[in-house]
Structure 1
């Protein structure tokens, strides 16, 4: 496992205390899991994706990641409607381990963009990880 100093935490995205990330991409927000999360899970072997058109409130479970170690729930960092899912993860879930910030899981149309500002910036997320 990586040391905290080895984690890649881009400054242009926000993080949750459940280790998801959110990145604004125009009118939509892409959501994935942090470098810390994928590192803790180990080799990811399956991703359960929601359907396009599904709507979730902030904090609701929207899918799961299965690794050789455990099954981990995925939680919405923001409320919104799913407008895209990364179907490449169906055949290649390991992409999350390889490039966690490129291997987004879902893309949503947020129902309340102000929720983005409530998420952790990279420095605050790192402080959270340090305990």
Structure 2
């Protein structure tokens, strides 16, 4: 009777199906994590290059102010005060800045991890 119903083949097929679904879910999750890592590395490189550009533009502005004000150091002082003011704003608005960063990170994670197609849902055992 067991040969007629092929219960052992059916059981093996169900086990293979569950394993395949698990692998598919694992690969999908891995792909999403890799996507987040690629975006993070790209943003890090973009950040470094942006900081470099800002540094050189700041030096250029300071030298320009020095020439315009006919001073050897006043332009550097003005640029320093501008950046010190920006730093003070960030320190004073620490909670708001941290909350905004947290919201952005949550939004990025939600976009990347919660957009799984319906057929990638893990099988219920």
Higher strand share: 1
Q: TM-score range by the shorter chain?
A: under 0.3
What TM-score, normalized by structure 2, do the two folds share? 0.19
Larger radius of gyration: 2
Q: Which has the higher helix share?
A: 2
